[in-house]
Amino acid sequence: MEGFNPLVIQFDLHQRLFNNVLDGYSDEETNSRLEGFPQVNHVKYLAGHLLNSQYGIAMIAGLKPEVRWNELFAVMGMSKAKDHIDYPSIEEIIGEWNKLYIPTREGLLRLTADQLRGKAPQPFDTVSDSLGELWAFVSHHQAYHIGQIGMLRRALGKSAMSYS
């Protein structure tokens, strides 16, 4: 979609914030829940769940990515954080996210207004009527989870996430 597109601006922002919010975590730290709060997801689950959402945005952009680790990080309530299992490393998750960025962004820029007004694919038509609304919904979902990881950073004694 040519010209000013707030969703592309937000997509670019999420690229930066995803990397910034995960900066400085060891792989071991990302597997640990906040002490005393077993109901709170650990960072690795949230990062993987964000990656799973990024695959969704890649599909909106017309890509056909190989969705890795879906059984661990699926969206729409089809997964939950687990303890003491062999998750991929946080570096693998970050690497996969970053690998998707450029081709997804290029695909998003090619979307036309008519495509964005078109029907959202199943099963996502339960949360959005159009492809554009689905993109906005997933983008909001990502902001929510980036914020959760940001809160966990502070609770785990790390510095606040950088916006730069």
Task: Give this prediction's pTM.
Answer: 0.92
What SS3 string covers 109-139?
Answer: HHCCHHHHHCECCCCHHHCCCEHHHHHHHHH
Domain 6-155 falls under CATH 3.40.50.300: no
pLDDT tens-digit profile of 120-138? 887 777 888 999 999 999 9
pLDDT tens-digit profile of 139-164? 999 999 999 999 999 999 999 998 88
Q: Is the backbone peptide bond immediately before 6 cis, with ω within 30 degrees of 0?
A: no
Is the per-residue pLDDT at 61 higher than 90? yes
Task: Say what the pLDDT of residue 2 is.
Answer: 52
Polymer length in residues for the chain: 164
Per-domain boundaries in the chain: 6-155
Task: Say what the pLDDT of residue 4 is.
Answer: 77
Between 131-155 and 43-60, two packed helices, what is the crossing angle to 10 degrees? 160
Confidence of residue 3 (pLDDT cuts 50, 70, 90): low
The span from the CA of 135 to the CA of 57, in Å, is: 7
Please tell me the number of Cα atoms within 13 Å of 142 on its side-chain side.
28
